[in-house]
Structure 1
Amino acid sequence: MYSPCVMVSVNHHIDKHHTNTNNLVFKHLNRPLSNGFCDEWQWNQNDKSDAVQISRKSGKIAYFHIGWSDGTAAIRATKPINMYSNRYYWEVLIKDKVFGTSMMIGLTTKRARLHSNSYINLIGENRFGWGLSHKGLLWHNGQWKEYAKPFEENCSTLIGCLYDGNNGTLTYYRDGRCLGIAFSGLDLVTENLYPTISSTAAQSQFVLTMTRREFLNLQDRCRDVIRKTYCFQYKDKWIGHLPMRLLSYLTLEDEIKDARYKDKIHSKSKPNRLSFHQNKSPKISKIISL
């Protein structure tokens, strides 16, 4: 059985002359879901603060406050991670400039705002978000608690996020090392949960380097193999060669449509009450600090 807190080492090299994610090389041992379904999603161009820009080619690099910073900006992912009751794992590289009031990685629903004119911990300012700041603090519902040591300033940091839909937990990893369970009760959320990043730091960059989830069934495994064999990035070239329903399945468009429908249903419903991880077992709730 997989243990969510396997201690691993990580070495990474960053090409200083390029920001393309293909130039990022990571060597991990026992990385969660490394052989899972390649769940391709990006940062959402249509669900962000105006102070955030994303790379046009891949959509996986987010640039915050290009000129100067006048508040807190955030951006959500194109897909939620609680569509199925299984595990998701994604990694975000915070490039060199780690400083300022708050740089955060976490989850939000569509009700969470993505910009503030003040310098604040935006993810987790209310009940619609759950986040980890670069100062090692967890935030939810406007409350915080200590979780890990602060990130080293002006050094790149790789943050991994493991969402367990069956147990309703979110666990963070830093540079390959498990930090322990951060939030619990997430399985009670009926709204879509989107990976979200935020920053107050001028000219800061967040790079989405990995997105994986558990396989749902044999059909899902077959889809993953087909997607790795053929390129479905440009849907138009497949029109006329494959049935539209099959094409929508292979391009993952059906999942995006389902997510949008769910967002619409819950746009006016009452929010859920959730909290930090409160498991009484010391083996599980113990926080591993770097």
Structure 2
Amino acid sequence: MTVRSGGRTESLALPMPRTCVPRRWVWDANCLTPGTELSPCHRGVYFHTDPVLESHGTAGMRGTTGFLQGEHYWEIEFLEPPSGLSVMVGIGTGRAALHAGDFQFVDLLGMNKESWGLSYKGTAWHGGSSRRYTEPFYEKGTVIGVHLNIDEGTLIFYRNRQSLGLAFTGLQKVQSPLYPMVSSTAPCTELAVGLQYSTLPSLQERCLSTLAHSLPQTDMVDCLPLPATIRWILKSWKDQIGLSLQRPEM
């Protein structure tokens, strides 16, 4: 993929098709909770900046745009070294928790089934359960990429544009917009949104995806009153989706 930056054309190895387009979402000022502040442009979020109170719980932030379909990639830069119990990057539904006060220091993203998160300590969280996903990262300037493919139901994280592997599957079943999210328990955490790209499926792809996920078995495609060519395309589509669904969900 090539993008223009500061008048220059740069070639970037991003996990997105050539047909993807830039996005311009920012952090949602309507989601401010105790312990969060936004930069003037709303691309940066600051956690627990009060010099007296410091951190007295866990604070989260959500992006302004939720995704229901298509393929999406964005990057979160750690402007300060991550520290404390938990600093996380991930996604969540509109029902995902954005705050845990009263000195509750928790891994907010993934504490229930409404969100999915990656901690800087290398653990992936969802539904209150965690597993070792990657090595911890502690460096200032670390860039975590988030690759969400809703049609295949997958979520992959990147570290400095190197894939960390498949983190979660089954996301096509959520049936609710999925928003970019971050959270932190640590004082003076600073995170900023970087590159953002999306590709939206064509009408044919949307129809095929809906049909594929509605049929419990591939051989049921032959029962549909469709032309043979369309049935063949649908079988191929369902087989591709099935490959991703065979991976263990978390």
2:39 and 2:17 mapped to 1: Cα distance?
25
Rate the CA distance shift 1:154–1:177 in 2: closer, same or farther, 3 A.
closer
User: Matched residue of 1:120: which SS?
Assistant: coil
Residue 45 (1) aligns with residue 16 (2)? no
Q: Name the structure 1 match of 2:47.
A: 64
Deviation at 1:154, TM superposition (A): 4.7
Out of 132, 135, 156, the position equivalent to 1:146 is: 132
**Structure 1 length normalisation: TM-score?**
0.63
Partner of 2:85: 101
TM-fit CA distance, 1:187: 0.3
In structure 2, the partner of 1:166 is 151
Structure 1 gaps, min length 5: 3-21, 218-276, 286-290
Correspondent of 2:39 among 49, 52, 55: 55
Alignment of 1:108-123 (within 5 A): 108-117=92-101, 118-123=104-109
Query: Per-residue CA shift, 1:54-91, capped at 9, x if unaligned?
Result: 112x2100011112111110010101122x2x210000
Q: Which amino acid in the other structure matches residue 182 of structure 2?
A: I
How far apart, in 2, do the equivalents of 1:101 and 1:209 lie?
Answer: 24
Larger Rg: 1 or 2?
Answer: 2
Show the 5 A alignment for 1:123-142: 123-142=109-128
1:1-290 map, 5 Å: 29-33=12-16, 36-56=20-40, 58-67=41-50, 68-82=54-68, 84=69, 86-117=70-101, 118-151=104-137, 153-216=138-201, 279=247
TM-score by length of 2: 0.73
2:73 & 2:132 partners in 1: Cα distance? 23
CA distance in 1, matches of 2:246, 2:42: 36
Partner amino acid for 2:154? T
Q: CA RMSD in A?
A: 2.5
CA positional deviation for 1:115:
0.8
Residue 107 of structure 1 and its aligned partner are, at CA, apart by 0.9
User: Secondary structure of the equivalent of 1:46?
Assistant: helix
Aligned residue pairs: how many? 197
In structure 2, runs of 5+ residues without a counterpart are 203-244
Structure-1 residue corresponding to 2:237: none
Shift of 1:172: 0.3
Question: Residue 98 of structure 1: CA displacement?
Answer: 1.0
